[in-house]
Amino acid sequence: MKHIFIKGTDPSAPTLVLFHGTGGTERDLLPLASIISPPSSILSLRGNVSENGMPRFFKRLAEGVFDEEDLLLRTEEVHTFLDEAALQYGFERNNMIAIGYSNGANIAGSLLFHYDNALRGAILHHPMVPRRGVDLPDMTGMPVFIGAGSNDPICAPHETEELRGLLEGAGAEVRLHWERFGHQLTAQEVDAAAAWFKEHVVD
């Protein structure tokens, strides 16, 4: 997968894995990583799917309607890539925190839904429920931050609450942060994620 790796200053800090939103690139979330955990190494991915020229991490059938077959295929693709990248760049595979926005948050969520220990934790900005009717892996104690907009036209508040319930039902420790905005990612939301990270992820 097309990606950027930036080696951090503290090898014990979690490696941040960045997943952009629809139409983004592997450079979009680099500023977030520097705010959330400055000493961390960064692995930032570009989605392998193109929708009218816009990079995405998996196909969709319509707005808010996922192509589940492609979602499963792409989730496996990302999972395999993370295994390979950990070996290539020499960081700990079990110490990775995802930061995803919109479509990127959905592929990160799908990793949590489909693989044991795919991630140590996740920061999900404006995610949806990746799949329904599946048994989730054991996520006991896993820290997850969800940033959401109370006026988000793409991800309605009830879907955000549903996702929190599913993750907590699998044992994750979820912090749900609301902003009075839509689908955009605000500076206040990023600051809240950074404060949460320092409290719940950094040893």
Active site residue 102: yes
Radius of gyration of the chain (CA): 15
Strand (E) or helix (H) holding 15: strand 15-19
Q: Which residue in 3, 79, 177, 183 is the catalytic one?
A: 183
Given the residues 41, 44, 125, 152, the one annotated as active site? 152
Taking phi first (over 0 means left), then psi (-120 to 50 degrees means alpha), and beta for anything else, what does residue 74 get? alpha
Q: Is 183 a catalytic residue?
A: yes
Neighbour-count burial for 185-195, b at 16+ CB within 10 Å, e otherwise: beeebbebbbe
Q: Would you say 79 and 96 are in contact if contact means Cβ atoms under 8 Å apart?
A: no
Q: What are 126's two structure tokens?
A: 């404006």
State the catalytic residue, choosing from 28, 102, 125, 126: 102
> What is d(CA 82, CA 98) in angstroms, rounded to the nearest whole number?
11
| Annotation says 138 is catalytic | no
Asked whether the CA dihedral 120, 125, 131, 132 is positive or negative, the reply is: positive
Q: Are 109 and 124 in contact (CB under 8 A)?
A: yes
Catalytically active residues, by annotation: 102, 152, 183
